[in-house]
Amino acid sequence: MSAACCSPSAGRPGVAAPAFLPARGRHRVPQASIPAQTFAMGDAHGDGAHPDGERPVHPVRLAAFDIDVTAVTVADFRAFVEATGYRTEAETYGWSAVFHLAVTDESAIVGTMAGTPWWVGVSGADWAHPGGPSSSAAGDHPVVHVSWNDARAYCAWAGRRLPTEAEWECAARGGAPSLRYPWGDDLPAEWACNIWQGTFPAVNTEEDGWLTTAPARFFEPNAYGLYQPVGNVWEWCADWFSPTYYAVSPRDDPPGPPIGAARVIRGGSYLCHDSSCNRYRNAARSSNTPDSSTGNTGFRTVAR
């Protein structure tokens, strides 16, 4: 269960993030208010791979916070770009990682990702052109091809921040303890989230209606009103990733490790399938380098 099966590292060592001057902006995503609480964080079912560090289950006490009910959409991100002239890292580097079945411009392929040939580098793929330069992004879908650095730039403009990993998991759980998914412990007969159906990575039967992203406000929200905290797109969190952090995590508002090489991503994506990547669970963790951008990673924001 390699993290790369779902989100390849497209990091570019030694290349600085684009310069950006924070500005005041208006964040238009509706909010869910998460009450102060203590919750049990971690994998209570033994589903996770040991390298992901989903255990031990441990109590975490959080102050109240507000979180976006959906991932930030293409329309939301476009408003930020139009107000600031910001260029994402995918645009600066000239390429991003696209799942092979989602490529719209075969001539724009510049290579494959080591160890994950279903991911290809596509010249001209970015937040507005998710499959390649001739493609277009639907405004009500989650924005993708945004790096952790890009997400932080949006937050600075909007007066927001990325959720800590603990805040993300607390909100995804919807106030219910120890559940595998936001709705319960089992997948229902009707699709409840956007994940892979078929044989990964060659055949997606699209039984849930989607090959790649679904609209951000789709399927049933959880008890806190969050749409698709699992499935659809991975979501960046503020924390550095460490597989051993849970053993030393503070009880109150844990901020994550002080240093690291990769940032936490949560929630899984439209590529998750039990045969290769069962990370569409409340407790599931993965990570990617802060400058990586892929066609299945976005973000949502929080504030207190």
CATH number at residue 158: 3.90.1580.10
Sign of the CA dihedral with 136 first, then 140, 143, and 144 last? negative
| Beta pairing class for 297-298 and 234-240 | parallel
pLDDT for 140 beyond 90: yes
Tell me: cis bond preceding 59? Omega within 30 of 0 counts. Answer: no
Model confidence over 24-48: pLDDT tens digits? Answer: 458 999 999 999 999 999 999 999 9
Q: How confident is the model at residue 6 (pLDDT cuts 50, 70, 90)?
A: low
Q: How confident is the model at residue 20 (pLDDT cuts 50, 70, 90)?
A: very low
Tokens of 28: 């238009």
Q: What is the mean pLDDT of residues 252-256?
A: 98
How many angstroms separate the CA atoms of 134 and 130, rounded? 9
Model confidence over 76-113: pLDDT tens digits? Answer: 999 999 999 999 999 999 999 999 999 999 999 999 98
- The answer to whether the beta carbons of residues 227 and 258 sit under 8 Å apart is no
Asked whether residue 106 is domain-assigned, the answer is yes
Asked whether residue 8 is domain-assigned, the answer is no
pLDDT for 52 beyond 60: yes
Structurally, the chain folds into a number of domains equal to 1
- Collapsing DSSP to helix, strand or coil, 32 comes out as strand
Asked whether residue 22 is domain-assigned, the answer is no
Give residue 190's domain range: 30-303
Query: For 162, which DSSP code?
Result: P
How many angstroms separate the CA atoms of 300 and 298, rounded? 7
Asked whether residue 23 is domain-assigned, the answer is no
Q: What is the mean pLDDT of residues 6-31?
A: 57
Q: How confident is the model at residue 273 (pLDDT cuts 50, 70, 90)?
A: confident
Length of the chain: 304
Tell me: cis bond preceding 56? Omega within 30 of 0 counts. Answer: yes
pLDDT for 8 beyond 80: no
Asked whether residue 1 is domain-assigned, the answer is no
Asked whether residue 10 is domain-assigned, the answer is no
18 class by beta-carbon count within 10 Å (0-12 exposed, 13-18 middle, 19+ buried):
middle
Asked whether residue 112 is domain-assigned, the answer is yes
